[in-house]
Amino acid sequence: MSPDSTAHYFTVADILAKPHIRKEFLKDFAVSVRAYAHYFGHLKEYIELDRKILHEVFASAYCDMYRLTTFRGIENADVHKKSAFLIKWIAKMRPIRINRYINASIIGVNESFAVTVALTLMDISPDSLPDNPHLSKYIHNLMYLLHYHDCAPEQLASELFLLEMQIVNVL
């Protein structure tokens, strides 16, 4: 009996072997490593990015996203959904290790990295965010949610869409 060509295989190896997923996975992984170097490189004596854990973050996010989109019949996940799955797994698996404590703000480094990766993937440069108290409060609240709560990717996708709308409206 030959395997059905429309069958879906949901193992990590099967999902990541799909050429279109593998290509996107590798591109986004590289973007996140560059974002870490650019935005967090100045903290290298205090923190360290564990690339093996980051790889697991991306594998988990992409597999979850594939399973959800396949189950719901979604052709292509938008950037907010993709970023939301990555945020969820970065906050959960914490690929940045704190080697030396400097102050309380270092504790939220993984959440900050998650939001930075999401913004970067949404083609929003964290450097170009407008100086706006409402926007700062919104981002701070998002990082608080990530640190203290287990957020569903669907909720995070909505949060990212709203964040993007706030940024666009401020500019």
pLDDT of the residue at 1: 40
Domain assignment present for residue 2? The answer is no
Domain assignment present for residue 4? The answer is no
Domain assignment present for residue 93? The answer is yes
- Domain encompassing residue 45: 12-170
* Total tally of structural domains belonging to the chain: 1
Q: Which residue has the tokens 């560059």?
A: 34
Question: pLDDT tens digits for 100-135?
Answer: 888 877 889 999 999 999 999 999 999 888 888 888
Quick check: 84 pLDDT over 60? yes
Domain assignment present for residue 6? The answer is no
Domain assignment present for residue 3? The answer is no
Domain assignment present for residue 7? The answer is no
